[in-house]
Structure 1
């Protein structure tokens, strides 16, 4: 958790502001691309997020709603996005205790007091070093939970939401790369 706090405290005022706005803006984007159905929009964004940069993720998610079907990703992600677009609940389609499910929760409700999206950048912040292309072990629910809990504890100490800590640290990490 100390690495998370170190990165948080290294953030510039601009990075703090952008990180604080990140999930509320993603929520607005999810509503916009889905005709106001923020849950479906957030679910499709999350389903199509694996191994995609945010700018690419937003393009393929928006295109899915325009075209009426997802494209631009691997089969499993496309199947999950199509199921969500077909009316299934993202909570029933996505693995809720790892990255895509937690990403959905953060976007769908940017006031969620427990949701934490641990992607490769959040992992690297938490452990205090960049892993590059090495496996981070985030498919292990136990490892994922330990890192998410570190963000929750950092958030508790800072008096902000865990998703805000993650977003600020994500911005700092991305901009340092």
Structure 2
């Protein structure tokens, strides 16, 4: 696991790795990555009959350890049936609370991945939100951890990596969520 408190050299190396992955992405990967959250936003609106925040909240609540296709399937099913299923009890309870009308920001852990995933889907142009999932971590540290623990539940480690993505985004001239999505697409496709 990387340290929570990194040196400036380590932070600079993580930021550089994100920038390098951005530059290694093909034009098609950049196009698709740049549209990823906008497309997710449209899907959230579709499944929630126009209530994008509710749709984004349910998607985020049901996202842990699921592929995007499975995440979408579970969220659509939750809206169709009026209740969530097919996930851990905690995720189902959160999704059900959101379905019942509770604001997602009152239900989701807004200081780590799930909360930031909600923010990025709800507002694809959010200038600060960035999702640090296992792939974003591996891109920054330039190592595929596989099933090893990355420690992203530690707020300090999560925030440090998020700050590296924000720094990379400033250098690239893009918002952090788009940098994360483009590098994610390139990383996934390169390591398939």
Whether these two folds match at TM > 0.5 is yes
Residue in structure 1 matched with residue 125 of structure 2 by the alignment: 111
1:92 lines up with 2:97 in the alignment: no
Aligned length: 177
Q: How does 1:24-43 map to 2 (within 5 A)?
A: 24-43=38-57
CA RMSD in angstroms, aligned pairs only: 0.5
| 3-state SS of paired residue (1:116) | coil
Match of 1:3 among 12, 17, 21: 17
Q: Deviations over 1:96-152 (max 9, x none)?
A: 010000000000000100000110001100111100000001010000000000000
Query: Any residues of structure 2 matched to 1:70-89 within 5 Å, and which?
Result: 70-89=84-103
Cα distance in 2 for partners of 1:166, 1:24 equals 13
Q: 2-side partners of 1:56 and 1:175: how far apart?
A: 18
Q: CA deviation at 1:173?
A: 1.1
What pairs with 1:14-163 in structure 2 (closer than 5 Å)? 14-163=28-177
Query: Structure 1 stretches of 5 or more lacking a match?
Result: none
Query: 2:76 and 2:175 mapped to 1: Cα distance?
Result: 27
Distance 2:17 2:55 in 1: 32
User: Which structure's CA Rg is the greater one?
Assistant: 2
Q: Which 4+ residue blocks in structure 1 deviate beyond 4 angstroms?
A: none
Deviation per CA, 1:78-100: give whole Å up to 9, x if none: 00000000100110000001000
Which deviations, in whole Å up to 9, do the C-alpha atoms of 1:44-87 show, x marking residues without a partner?
Answer: 00000000010100000011001111111000000000000010
Structure 2 Cα separation of the partners of residues 128 and 6 of structure 1: 10
Deviation of 1:16 after TM superposition, in Å, equals: 0.2
Q: Structure 1 CA distance, aligned partners of 2:119 and 2:49? A: 19
Query: How far apart, in 2, do the equivalents of 1:123 and 1:92 lie?
Result: 26
How far does residue 176 in structure 1 lie from its aligned partner after superposition? 1.5
TM-score norm. by structure 1 comes to 0.99
User: What is the alpha-carbon distance in structure 1 between the residues aligned to residue 110 and residue 74 of structure 2?
Assistant: 22
174, 181, 189: which is aligned to 1:167?
Answer: 181
